[in-house]
Amino acid sequence: MIPPRRRRRLPHDLRVQLLALAAGLPALVLAATLLAHSGFSERTQWTLGAVVVIAWLAFASSAREAVARPLQTLSNLLGALREEDFSFRARVGRRDDPLGQALVEVNALAQTLREQRLGALEATALLRKVMEEIDVAVFAFDASQVLQLLNRAGERLLGAPAERLIGLGADALGLAALLSGEPRGIVDASFPGATGRFDVRRGGFRQRGKPMQLLVLADVSRALRDEERQAWQRLIRVIGHELNNSLAPIRSVAGSLEALLLREPRPDDWEGDVRRGLSVIAARAEALRRFMDAYAQLARLPAPARRPVEVAPLVRRVAGLETRVPVIVSGGPDATIDADADQLEQLLINLVRNAAEAVAGSAGGVRLSWSLAEKPQAAVEFAVDDDGPGLPPSANLFVPFFTTKPGGSGIGLVLCRQIAEAHGGTLALTNRPEGGCRATLRLRR
């Protein structure tokens, strides 16, 4: 079966001209009829008839031109906008007719697009400048893991200019392993331009509708070495302080006992002095042993054995273990988290114990609550509030063996933070505006 042929439509300007001719055709027929019965000579009739026909055709052509020229102007303007040439403007005659209003809107659109184009160019130039100046290697790969973009730091890291690197695969560049696995983390890696520990960040984006992968590498070796050196310095300073606190009296008492034993004759109560001196030495040695045990406990924290833990029973069990002050539990929503129940319980016990010690001897109390948070990620937030004096003005609250309590070991808060971070969470201490302290534990669900 032969499909029917599609009718070809006439151009818009020609259709306007034909409509104008059709509109004037009755008048032309009437004029011809009047001329035929006018009594004029034949020559006069043909002359007047020719004038009428020429006028009819001229007005129809003028109507076609009046419609076609503005449309051609609009077409040229839109074509220039499509080619991102925003310098063209239409000349507006009257603003109170439909054509003038259309030209005004097109001019306004051209100005808006021009301003947006300039803003995009300036933002792109700023982004390129920032990428070139930052000391972080940035790579962009397409869906086939072929390098499409890198900055100057990336060139230094791979030891070659961009012209030689763009178009190579991730395997050839030694970056294939970093494009899989966890999207962020710290890895040890070696490249032609650098060797060390790198902070790896990976994410996705689209360019011209095609999926791309962004890989960012930051060399953190120096920063980590500085942090490690500072941590060792703090640790050595604290350990040295504790050792001196124990060894100084031991040395002094030992010297006194040696002098006592060398005396001739010895005093009558020399045996009592020796016993008291040995008791001091034993006490200081025991204090030193407790200190080393606390350090060993802090250093040997095992990895969490995760399993589903219901929040409500855990919180109520922790609150029931504190008997010195009443602990009020504010009921929260039902929630279950993936955590080590023993470590999490020990963390909350330490926080509640610190809160209870802060309000001991006063009329204040302790409140334990939990809530659900969705931003920046789904998490459970535990809050321990007390009505005590608040936090002291110190930046060393989480420094090992630092304590403001008489007889404190200085490892409770450090152990709490280690447990929280081992679970991928955070622990923060803040003073409440109405008085007292709040400990906030945030764990991912």
253 token code pair: 């008492």
Of 299, 319, 334, which residue constitutes the final position of a domain? 299
In a domain, 99, yes or no: no
Among 192, 219, 246, residue at a domain's last position? 219
- Does residue 313 contact residue 341 with C-beta atoms inside 8 Å? no
On whether both 321 and 433 belong to a single domain, the answer is yes
* Phi and psi, residue 151, nearest 5°: -105, -175
- Do residue 140 and residue 74 come from a single domain? no
Query: Is 209 in the same domain as 147?
Result: yes
The reported pLDDT for the residue numbered 410 is: 54
In terms of C-beta density within 10 A (0-12 exposed, 13-18 middle, 19 or more buried), how is residue 329 classed? Answer: middle
350 in a domain, yes or no?
yes
Q: Is residue 277 located within the same domain as residue 375?
A: no
DSSP for residue 407? T
Tell me whether residue 320 is in a domain: yes
Q: Cα–Cα distance between 15 and 8 in angstroms, integer?
A: 12
In-domain check, residue 4: no
What CATH number is associated with residue 344?
Answer: 3.30.565.10
From 219, 253, 283, give the residue that closes a domain: 219
d(CA 107, CA 411): 71
Query: How far, in whole angstroms, is CA 151 from its chain's centroid?
Result: 21
List the domain range (segments joined by +) for residue 290. Answer: 238-299
What burial letters (b/e) apply to 257-278, b meaning 16+ CB within 10 Å? beeeeeeeeeeeeeeebbeebe
- CB burial readout 344-363, b (16+ within 10 A) else e: bbbbbbbbbbbbbbbbeeee
Same domain, 293 and 350: no
Does 103 map to a domain? no
Give the C-alpha separation, 406 to 386, whole Å.
19
Among the listed residues 339, 343, 333, the one whose alpha carbon sits nearest the alpha carbon of residue 370: 333
Instruction: Indicate whether 167 belongs to any domain.
Output: yes
Per-residue model confidence as pLDDT tens for the chain (445 residues): 455 555 667 777 788 778 878 888 888 888 888 877 777 888 888 888 888 888 888 888 888 888 788 778 888 888 888 887 777 777 776 667 777 788 788 888 888 888 888 887 787 787 778 777 788 889 999 989 899 888 888 888 888 888 899 999 988 888 888 888 778 888 888 888 888 888 888 888 888 788 889 999 888 877 767 766 776 676 677 677 667 767 777 888 888 888 877 877 877 777 887 888 888 888 778 777 776 776 666 566 677 888 999 999 898 888 888 878 888 888 788 888 999 888 888 888 888 888 888 887 677 788 999 998 877 678 899 999 988 887 765 555 555 555 555 444 456 677 788 888 888 888 888 888 888 888 899 998 7
> What CATH number did the domain enclosing 155 receive?
3.30.450.20
Contacts of 108 (CB under 8 A, 6+ apart): none
> Does 265 share its domain with 200?
no
433 falls within a domain:
yes
Q: Which residues pair with 205 in a beta bridge?
A: 212
Claim to verify: residue 339 and residue 436 sit in the same structural domain: yes
Number of domains, the chain: 4
Q: Which residues share a beta bridge with 426?
A: 442
Same domain, 252 and 208: no
Amino acid identity at 47? T
Residues 311 and 436 placed together within one structural domain of the fold: yes
Q: Is residue 116 part of a domain?
A: no
